[in-house]
Structure 1
Amino acid sequence: MTETRDSIQDIWGDRTPYHGEGTWPIRVDARTTAEPEHWVQSACVLCSNGCGLDIGVRDGRIVGVRGRAQDEVNRGRLGPKGLHGWEANNSPDRLTKPLVRRAGRLREASWDEAMELIVRRTREIMERYGAGGIGFYTSGQLMLEEYYTLAIIGKAGIGTPHMDGNTRLCTATAAQALKETFGSDGQPGSYYDVDVTDCLFLVGHNIAATDTVLWSRMLDRRRGPKPPRLVVVDPRRTMTAREADLWLSPRVGTNLALLNGLLHLLIRNGHVDRRFVAEHTLGFDELEKVVADYPPARVEEITGVPAGDLEQAARIIGEAPTLLSTCLQGVYQSNQATAAACAVNNINLIRGMVGRPGCGILQMNGQPTAQNTRECGADGDLPGFRNWDNPQHIEDLARLWRVDPGIIPHWAPPTHAMEIFHYAETGTLHMLWIQATNPAVSLPDLGRIRKILGKPELFVVVQDAFMTETAALADVVLPTAIWGEKTGTFTNVDRTVHISHKAIDPPGEARSDLDIFLDYARRMDFRDRDGAPLVKWSTSEEAFEAWKECTRGRPCAYTGLSYAKLTGGSGIPWPCNAEHPDGSPRIYTDHRFPTDPALCEDYGHDLQTGAVITPTEYRAKQPAGRAFLKSVHYRPLPEAPDADYPFLVTTGRVTYHFHTRTKTGRARELVRAEPEAFVEISENDAARLGVVEGDMLRLTSRRGSVEAPARIAPIHAGHLFVPFHYGYWDEPGRARAANELTLFAWDPVSKQPHYKYAAVKVERVASPGTTQPEDLASAERGGGLLGAVGQAVKSGAKAISETVKPPRAHLADYLGLLQASEEMFAEACDQVRSNHPKVPDIEEECALFAEWSREAAARLGPLLARYGRQQEGEPKRLERVLVRKRTESTGFGLVRDLHDLILLANESLVSATILHQAAMGLRDKDMETVLEEVMSHVRRARQWLETRVKQAAPQALVVPE
């Protein structure tokens, strides 16, 4: 074996000091177990940095890797995961044949058997429940070409809105914060900014562990002739915090208060680029008003950060000639995640530090191909950063794919991962197809997740290279090729696109994810409107060429890229098009942002509630290429410590492992470096509980328990930390997955789960007392696989052919409710006319409104005949708002009657809106048309009523009659 360094002991390698953009010295890191016969170009997929590397091949096996000296992302450097993680490809427990559950056990099957079963179940579920009965949950580990193919299958073949990925767990807030501030996804920072910046501001980003090569780049700058200042925000004293010039250690969940306090001081101290703010942003006045409530003393009270430290941080950031800010899970997975991430954007914007060397923001990703899930639409968004709420963007996609626009889900925000699992829990999602991810360890509240995946009526397909905890609960398991065994492209945090060429064949019958999707599309016979196959490619390069057309004219332009252009040199950052033929390391260099209503990817949200901003409201802001300075007030944690659960636990990463260790747990040296989960506990808490290093601790939340040895660390009293990587596939025999403890809850805007706080109690135990979850502990080894779970799991499942088709009861309920609402509104209008016979406009308008409502009730008749009638009793709740008969007409009586008519109109409008969403899901055009007419007349009536009551109210309420 040869290796240039022991990356386990020497994580970041020797320092190579430098200063100047593009002058980071080359250092080629390599590790091989045999002399390669040849090298194949690729890039690392074990963090989001995207380091270029070559794969060494001998006798058809991977035998090592080396960094690519010419790649601008890493200049030859590799971290410990990159140097060791490839060993997973050679693991003897790879899945090599499809598995299908029979009589409660997973048994080997042919590809034809497995795929025909998936196709049959898909068709039967769609026939019985519609497209909304099917969901997809994908990964941050596939390749761009695979995500785009999946997006077309889901959005234009099936037409389901239920598609998301495990990138929801790590990058959803990054994407959303960029949309909220800049109008579109896409990082406004570059790794090149590290080379020349004067100040690094790292918020909730333990970069020394999560992105080791990028940290090496920062360390090399710090050892060079013009070292940047470093400010770190993290409640734990990590290696990153130890390097900092200033470490701010807020209490868990108080990020937003801290950031509001920094903004307060930057404004107070005059560190605002007023010209930039006036010309290129919107919302400064409101921002200034909000952060005025966060002086240093109050911030110290909330966060525990000394006022003097906050003042010093504001001076460092405010006086720096250039500033590069980054965020990761310490922001994204915590309280008020999107609001806090936007506050970091605000700091750079009010300083005017975007779009020029050394000035930028990196809302970091957690996975290597997370950017591609967002670009391609495999996370639920629309491909090419298109806006689901913009009809023109839907038309553009429909034209590109040659399909009816109605099949593309766009009637509501896409379904996020946690809601997909909730739908499965409630029984309205009947098929869930999971690719290259392990939610049975990575999602919060694991006891709940296991119950969902184990439901007999939920048909679960898992596409993976190993028998994970999730695969053990599946009905069909498809063996896949992984990195190094297929060709494709992927994009890192700073928009750099790399190509990874196939180096070896996958084991046994394993297939690439792309080939599986193509086979499924062919068997389903998805067609475009001309009768041609919907998916028109058969190779990854053809898929890439199709994707390029999807990005034409969009912010993430790939049109100037090709496989040939990406082969041989460095990765290339998008946009790459006619304007930027060699790519563009930086965007927004002209300080014009993609916030125009016709271009933007998202109209934004209320950062406190998550409510969607309507297109009309957004256009009224007249953004005209300006960025948004969005701000809200701090709110305390939803789940706080109390007498029963006095500690807060947070979860996170360690240097040597990635996600649920599916790959890194099969690399010998990485396992030796960090073999087991642990609990970080403060010295004070340890002393109080009588805990010494290595003692077994049991942590119990309102959801579950875990046990792991204690590690005494510089951490706040009352704060515990547990790494989330460890699950059960290697059979520890006890509960140790951190997500046994965490909350089934999410940020209101980004919908990213809250992993960074859960109230727990702690006890020292002499030895482990919990057991590994029963359904996973019962797994058997056989045939070289960590194989089938026992017959108890899903053993009682009925065949779908035995499932009774449910009536569309709830659709019938709402149709009946709307019809009753319209009839009652008409009767109420008649009563108001009778109550006020001497008020001419009331007589005329109410007669018109009553006529409209009776016509609408009649138009609903055929829909009721088609879908059924309401359940008994539903409309009775409307009786409480009926207009009553009056003996005389008074001004106050008129106001009360108008008030009641508005309530009735709202009742009709809400029912019609709900039904319209259902009609789009059903793709029932006739129903859509009827409901649009109903909503139109109700809105017109309500608008008149609201105007009239405003006119009548002052006289009626103020002047005595």
Structure 2
Amino acid sequence: LLRESGPSSIGFYTTGQLFLEEYYTLAVIGHGGIGTNHMDGNTRLCTATAAASLKESFACDGQPGSYTDIDHADVIALYGHNMAETQTVLWSRVLDRLAGPNPPAVVCVDPRRTPVAAAADVHLAPRPGTNVMLMNALLHHIIGNDWIDRAYIDEHTVGFEELAKRVADCDPELAALVCGVPAENIAEAARLIGGAERLLSTVLQGFYQSHQATAAAVQVNNVHLVRGKLGAPGCGILQMNGQPTAENARECGADGDLPGFRNWSNESQVEDLARVWNIDPMRIPHYSAPTHLMKMMRYVEDGSIRFLYVSGTNPAVSLPELGRVREILAQERLFLVVQDLFLTETARLADVVLPAATWGEKTGTFTNADRTVHLSEKAVDPPGEARSDLDIFIDYARRLDLRDKDGEPLVKWSGPEEAFEAWKRCTEGRPCDYTGMSYDGLRGSGVQWPCNEEHPEGTERLYADGRFWSDPEYCESYGRDLVTGAPLEPDEYRSMNPYGRAVIKAAEYLPPHEQPDDDFPFVLTTGRTLYHFHTRTKTGRVPQLRDAAPEVWVEMSAEDAAERGWEEGDLLRVATPRGRVEARLRVSGVRPGVVFLPFHYGYWDTTGLAPEGGDGRAANELTITDWDPASKQPLFKTAAARLERIGTGDGTPAAAPTNTGSAPVTR
């Protein structure tokens, strides 16, 4: 294919669960060796908006805050983040604060009554897809009451006047009509956030996978910028990750960006990366923005991508509109390689399956959402023919005979520590600088980047002095239009932000593309449960976790169930214009007009693949092929759906957990 069709016929789709050394090796192979622009990670499904929102506000990825901010904050605001079921250890840290002296106030934004909502002082349950309107109303109230730091705004930001003008008419009363949230609750949340001395905000999939994802997440950043709440203990933003090593995929360039947070549209930064790899800069694709996953799937569908290498992820269950995805992956003209631990639904469609080792069977480093780098050392040997992802990638590079300008192997390392040392050289002088770290040093405890001569012990918080990585010649990104997704040109950015300040970017609320109607009267949203992870490739094989949540269910409010005469445990068919799913009813604390499906349940432990022409169990049989224009993250939380009862429960409840956001309610 490289000889006949060129690099653009090759695509790579990886995970959020490899080690740093593996991501970096894959990025070197794809960007520097093969020279394809088609490389992305399943971080596109969970954390792409985190990166995009940070790039919009600070012109660079990297979490401003630290987990330790939980210990200091007097207000913690969680936006679309069911921390109790997605970051359970971190939630325990919040619970410790709530049970101790001087507990913080908690604001929760979630359409379901989750454990976080139950612990909150204010719970805002907006209609899915209206997050931007809600955030604009909060900012309206904060700015209108002068709960802002004018000196910080003037000295360290650009764009405030546009924001103030945009939110001027977005009062809580208007937001109440659009979002379906009482105006007094919005005002009370704004009062808590606007009066906080130490404000911590966290954001996750309720914003990232919803309509206007990046625009909504950027408004959370704006709250901190207008209040000057960055860089001090308790004053942080955590645009969270949904996977254990999603941060590394972004740093290393395995999700499409260039390694070391380099700017693909800045020639000097591309040349610097070429210097590190000792290759011609023209070998690194930078003629356009890196290809995001959904566009890659379209290229596979039309036949321009003929070889797709999937590592550590399961798109046959995790992508939207699964009927279409299965057809794409099953094409005869596509050569599909799957590298994974188990025979997933995607692996069953593959031409070649490469058995990989899991985390305890190999050595490598991983970086938490708050930039803390840890070393994980091999505990046991991998079984059978399985090899570490690093060994497989290195072998692949050598079989392709990828070489640098001097004829030496492009991938010059043979083990994880050598790969880490190579990565350190790639990060020198960049925001995610690892040059002060070593395997020996990481055997003590985690270290937060940047760690270098200037910060030998690491850096707990970013932007403490109001200085940002947003200088036009240094920044990772010039940003995008939040409505169209079009990248800003370098000259546009230089004109807007010549002195490298933080960018306050306003956003207008726009209604979701797919609205409920007479045929599909509900809004379908999907999400996680405490007991499973993604497509259950691992958690579904653990008896205790499988027994805790053995089967898919659908949640509906008590009001909606009573109106239809439906009862807990009834068998329902959930349908959208794209597919159908059968699930037992859980009458839960979800807001009226909204139904919820957990997205974990595929087919590897039942039929192996979805039943032909029948009802499925995977939530993504129903979701829409649509994505945020800026982050390119698919929208899993705003589909229009209808439900019908096809069987009664006879008093047997749905097999849904009762101690989570899926707890039953009584009428």
Q: Give the TM-score normalised by structure 1.
A: 0.66
Give 2:663's aligned residue.
none
Q: Deviations over 1:212-250 (max 9, x none)?
A: 010000110111111111011111111110000010111
Which residue number corresponds to residue 882 of structure 1? Answer: none
| Contact in 2 for aligned 1:172/1:751 (Cα 8 Å) | yes
**Shift in Å at residue 398 of structure 1?**
0.6
Aligned to 2:172: 296
Work out which of the residue numbers 259, 276, 286 in structure 2 matches 1:400. 276
- Residue 152 of structure 1 aligns to a residue in which SS? helix
Specify the alignment match of 2:629 in structure 1: 748
For 2:417 and 2:530, locate their aligned partners in 1 and report how far apart those are by CA, in whole Å. 34
Q: Which AA in structure 1 matches 2:442?
A: L
Using CA pairs below 8 Å that are at least 6 residues apart, which structure has the higher relative contact order? Answer: 2
Contact 1:689 1:764 in 2 (8 A): no
Does 2:644 align with 1:763?
yes
Whether 1:706 aligns to 2:581 is: yes
Shift of 1:767: 8.0
Equivalent position of 1:724 in the other structure: 599
Alignment partner, residue 435 of structure 2 = 559
Between the aligned partners of 2:482 and 2:133, the Cα distance in structure 1 is: 14
Residue of 340, 359, 364 corresponding to 2:235: 359
Partner of 1:653: 528
Which residue of structure 1 aligns with residue 661 of structure 2? none
Aligned equivalents of 2:176 and 2:523: distance in 1? 19
Partner SS state of residue 308, structure 1 = helix
Q: 2:472–2:500: 8 Å Cα contact kept in structure 1?
A: no
1:66-88 Cα deviation digits (max 9, x unpaired): xxxxxxxxxxxxxxxxxxxxxxx
Q: Does 1:679 align with 2:560?
A: no
User: Of 395, 400, 415, which aligns to 1:519?
Assistant: 395
Q: Is the 8 A contact 2:570 2:585 kept in 1?
A: yes
Q: CA deviation at 1:621?
A: 1.7
Mapped partners of 2:637, 2:205: distance in 1: 8
Q: For residues 757 and 622 of structure 1, do their structure 2 counterparts lie closer, same or farther at Cα, with a shift above 3 Å needed?
A: closer
| Match runs of 1:162-561 below 5 Å | 162-561=38-437
Q: Kindly provide the CA deviation profile for residues 469-501 of structure 1, in whole angstroms up to 9, marking residues without a partner as x.
A: 000000000001111000000001100011110
Aligned mates of 1:626, 1:619 — CA distance in 2:
11
Question: Cα 1:692–1:767, aligned 2, differ >3 Å: closer, same or farther?
Answer: closer
Shift of 1:622: 3.2
Contact 1:282 1:623 in 2 (8 A): no
Find the aligned partners of 1:217 and 1:632 in 2 and give their Cα distance. Answer: 33
Check whether the contact 2:201–2:238 (CA below 8 A) recurs between aligned residues.
yes
Decide whether aligned partners of structure 1 residues 403 and 711 sit closer, same or farther in structure 2, where only a CA change above 3 A counts. Answer: same
- Give the SS at the match of 2:574: strand
Aligned-pair CA distance for 1:632: 1.4
Shift of 1:561: 0.6
Given that residues 69 and 200 in structure 2 are in contact (C-alpha distance below 8 angstroms), is that contact kept between their aligned partners in structure 1?
A: yes
Residues in 2 aligned to 1:607 and 1:617: alpha-carbon distance in whole angstroms: 15
Q: Work out whether residues 569 and 648 of structure 2, in 8 Å CA contact, stay in contact via their aligned partners in 1.
A: no
Partner amino acid, structure 2, of 1:317: I
Partners in 1 of 2:648 and 2:472 — Cα distance?
Answer: 60
TM-score of the superposed pair, with normalisation by structure 2: 0.96
Q: Provide the C-alpha distance between the structure 2 equivalents of 1:687 and 1:265, rounded to a whole number of angstroms.
A: 37
* Shift of residue 202, structure 1, vs aligned partner: 0.5
Aligned to 1:598: 473
Are positions 1:577 and 2:458 aligned together? no
Judge conservation of contact 1:432–1:461 (CA < 8 Å) in 2: yes
Please report how far the alpha carbon of residue 688 of structure 1 lies from its aligned counterpart in structure 2 after TM superposition.
2.2
Q: Structure 1 CA distance, aligned partners of 2:396 and 2:190?
A: 55
Q: Distance in 2 between matches of 1:267 and 1:587?
A: 25
CA distance in 2, matches of 1:320, 1:745: 37
Quote the Cα distance in structure 2 between the aligned partners of 1:692 and 1:376. Answer: 50
Give the gaps of 5 or more residues in structure 2.
650-667
Q: Displacement, 1:418?
A: 0.5
Cα-to-partner distance string for 1:285-311 (whole Å, 9 max, x where unaligned): 000000012011111111111111111
Deviations 1:445-473 (A, max 9, x none): 00000000000000000001100000000
**How many Å apart are 1:716 and its aligned residue?**
1.9
Query: 4+ residue stretches of structure 1 with deviation over 4 A?
Result: none
Do the aligned residues in 2 keep the contact of 1:699 with 1:706 (CA within 8 Å)?
yes
C-alpha displacement at 1:690, in angstroms? 2.3
Give the C-alpha shift of residue 718 in structure 1: 1.6
Question: Which SS does the other structure have where 2:65 is aligned?
Answer: coil
- Name which of 469, 481, 495 aligns with 1:620: 495
Aligned partner of residue 528 in structure 1, secondary structure: coil
Alignment size in residue pairs? 643
Residue equivalent to 2:3: 127
**CA deviation after TM superposition for structure 1 residue 766, in Å:** 2.0
| Equivalent residue letter for 1:240 | V
The alpha carbon displacement at 1:127 in A equals 1.3
Within 5 A, what are the aligned runs for 1:849-888? none
Deviation of the 1:504 alpha carbon: 0.4
Structure 1 segment 1-12 matched on structure 2, within 5 A: none
Identify unmatched segments of 5+ residues in structure 1. 1-124, 769-961
CA separation in 2, counterparts of 1:738 and 1:469?
Answer: 15
Structure 1: distance between partners of 2:76 and 2:197: 12
Match of 1:634 among 509, 522, 526: 509
Q: CA deviation at 1:609?
A: 1.2
Partner deviation per Cα, 1:328-365 (whole Å, 9 max, x = no partner): 00000001000000000000110000011110100000
For the residues of structure 2 that align with 1:370 and 1:311, how far apart are their CA atoms?
35
Q: What residue is the counterpart of 1:802 in the other structure?
A: none
Q: Give CA deviations for 1:654-690 in whole Å, capped at 9, x if unaligned.
A: 0011000001101110111111111001112112222
CA–CA distance in structure 2, aligned partners of residues 759 and 262 of structure 1: 27
From the CA coordinates, give the structure whose radius of gyration is larger.
Answer: 1
539, 542, 549: which one aligns with 1:664: 539
Secondary structure at the counterpart of residue 127 of structure 1: coil
Distance (Å, rounded) in 2 between the aligned partners of 1:623 and 1:585: 27
Write the letter of the residue equivalent to 1:438: N
Q: Match of 2:617? A: 736
Q: Equivalents in 1 of 2:581, 2:90: separation in Å?
A: 33
For residues 344 and 432 of structure 2, the distance between their equivalents in structure 1, rounded to whole angstroms, comes to 34
Query: Are the equivalent residues in 1 in contact too, given 2:79–2:206 (CA < 8 A)?
Result: yes
Residue type matched to 1:436 in 2? G
Task: Give the drift of 1:147.
Answer: 0.3
Q: Distance in 1 between matches of 2:361 and 2:526?
A: 32
Q: CA deviation at 1:625?
A: 2.9
Q: Please give the per-residue CA displacement for 1:94-148, whole angstroms capped at 9, x wherever unaligned.
A: xxxxxxxxxxxxxxxxxxxxxxxxxxxxxxx111111000000000011100000
2:107 partner SS: strand
SS in 1 for 2:77: strand
The match for 2:463 among 588, 607, 615 is 588
> Quick one: percent identity of the two aligned structures?
62
Match in the other structure for 1:949: none
